[in-house]
Structure 1
Amino acid sequence: MPRVNSLAGFTINKQMADSFVDILLQKGALTQEALASSVDEAEQKGLALDEVLEGKGVSAQKILEAKSEASGIPVRALTGQRVPFDILKYVTEDSARHYRFVPLGMKDGVLEIGMVDPTELNAREALQFIASKLNLPFRVYIISRKDFNEVLNVYKGLGGEVSKVLGELESALSEGSTSLGTDYPTADSVSEAHITEEAPVTKMVAVMLRHATEGRASDIHIEPSRDKLRVRFRVDGVLYTSLFLPMKVHEAIVARIKILTNMQLDEKRKPQDGRFSARIENHEIDFRVSTFPTS
């Protein structure tokens, strides 16, 4: 059973790092010559030793098993499992990248954390700080670099998809394309027929809805400011900023949502309410929409 909040009691340091290498040597997975050259390369290039060893042909699985045996921390393989947004919220993408640990799941009220290298003192201290701030117990697992990078890809999934669609949308805006369905919104200039399923603004709204649903968000807030359009998801009662968009796409996105809900496109001075349904990942989802005028 993985230890709960067990990092506090770890004496993981250079000695443990040496012992995982010793285990590889003892099991014949590594030679002294390969170790010596790998240590030199790691120091010269500023890389982690296990990364260099893997590049020299040492099995990633054997490295994981040796780390586990040396530290007493179990190995966890994701095997294609996607970490949901409501779990990723516990560790920011910047922290995950810097300290090389990611949240994997929540079980029985305990946050499960995957670490690439539990020997890193800064990472252990950062995890202790985050857990104490969240007031959550945690369990630690060792994960492969491959799985770590796959979780990072989930972090940037929303941003990546939005960036791609945003490029299409900004291109269409600069060209004055009518395929956006807006030129901008008046009752005459915007019609549902103009907003096709392939229109960039439609893709943009669809991406936001899908990621909010996958992340089990209860609300989506689209909030204009002076120079940015902020999109926030509410998960477990807390609002998290998910992305920022340029203000020039604001009117197009609002117009698309108003069309979905049969709201008046040219009414901007009064609040409006509406509803629509969408099929996302084979589930029929009902959305209730409210708009408010901004100063």
Structure 2
Amino acid sequence: MLKTDTVKTVADVLYEKKLINSDQLAAIKFENVNTGKSIEQVVKDRGYVKAEDFAEALGAVYNVPFITLTAEQVDPSLMDLVPLNVAKKYRFVPFELKENKLSLAMIDPLDLQTIDFIERKTGYKVVPYITTEKTIEKVLEEQKGKELGEEITAALQEITETTLKIEETGGEITDATLRDAPIARIVSMILETAVKIGASDIHIEPGE
């Protein structure tokens, strides 16, 4: 959870932007004092504003720029710097590299442990940006889809360029050969991705 000693809160910023009214501001501060919940948590729980407005206001409090990130804004090569599952677990997306400074879209831009890890692993200075959780999830899922597509394309290319050699032992196809076949790898990739995204059905149309 984000922490700060700044006097101005995210609720104050939202009020200044006229995204909440005076009654809502008072209710937020009252709950904060009487329950011990952070201002940020109270605002989230009450659902007064959209996630984008909340993130932008929080960025203003911590002097961290807000970004509405899309997959098209992400430099694909940067996704190779950190494993995709790590980015998903800690909710960040590296999207731009300039002059050895790595721009990082994050849910929690004050997560110093994650920032330090990325700086040590990549050797670049991290410049944090704040965005929404939904944005992070969407961009990472699209990136995973791109990777899957590239792997399937490579496997299909292998099928068209080479003749699949089937080894037989005693007239039977070996399990190892079946597992290594390009088409078997394609099916495995599709099933693996379906499990990760929680798909209940898989539909493959003729010609796909």
Q: TM-score, normalised by structure 1?
A: 0.43
1:124 counterpart = 2:112: yes
Report deviation, 1:104: 1.5
Q: 1:36 to 1:91 in 2, by over 3 A?
A: farther
The partner residue of 2:165 within 258, 265, 277 is 265
- Tell me, yes or no, if the aligned pair for 2:93 and 2:104 is still in contact at 8 Å: yes
| CA–CA distance in structure 1, aligned partners of residues 131 and 7 of structure 2 | 16
Pick one of 76, 93, 97 that aligns with 1:102.
93
Residue identity over aligned pairs, in percent, reads 23
The corresponding residue for 1:59 is 50
1:91–1:102 Cα contact (<8 Å) kept = no
* CA–CA distance in structure 2, aligned partners of residues 37 and 97 of structure 1: 35
Report the Cα offset of residue 110 of structure 1.
2.2
- How far has the Cα of 1:267 moved from its partner? 7.5
Runs of 5+ consecutive residues of structure 1 not aligned to the other structure = 1-11, 162-205, 213-252, 269-295
* 1:207-235 Cα shifts (integer Å, max 9, x gaps): 5154x7xxxxxxxxxxxxxxxxxxxxxxx
Task: Indicate the SS of the match to 1:148.
Answer: helix
Q: Distance in 2 between matches of 1:61 and 1:258?
A: 44
1:25 to 4, 15, 18: 15
- Structure 1 residues 42 and 144 mapped into 2: Cα distance closer, same or farther (>3 Å)? farther
> How far apart, CA to CA, are the structure 2 residues paired with 1:42 and 1:208?
50
1-structure distance, mates of 2:81, 2:138 = 17
Secondary structure of 1:35 counterpart: helix
1:146 to 2:134 alignment: yes
Q: Distance in 1 between matches of 2:144 and 2:30?
A: 35
In 2, distance between residues paired with 1:36 and 1:144? 23
Equivalent in the alignment of 1:35: 28
Write the distance in 2 (CA, Å) between the matches of 1:98 and 1:17: 31
User: Number of residue pairs matched?
Assistant: 161
The answer to whether the 8 Å contact 1:42/1:49 transfers is: no
Q: Which has the higher helix share?
A: 2
- Give the strand-richer structure, 1 or 2: 1
Q: Please give the root-mean-square deviation of Cα atoms over the aligned residues, in Å.
A: 3.8
Residue 112, structure 1, aligned to residue 55, structure 2: no
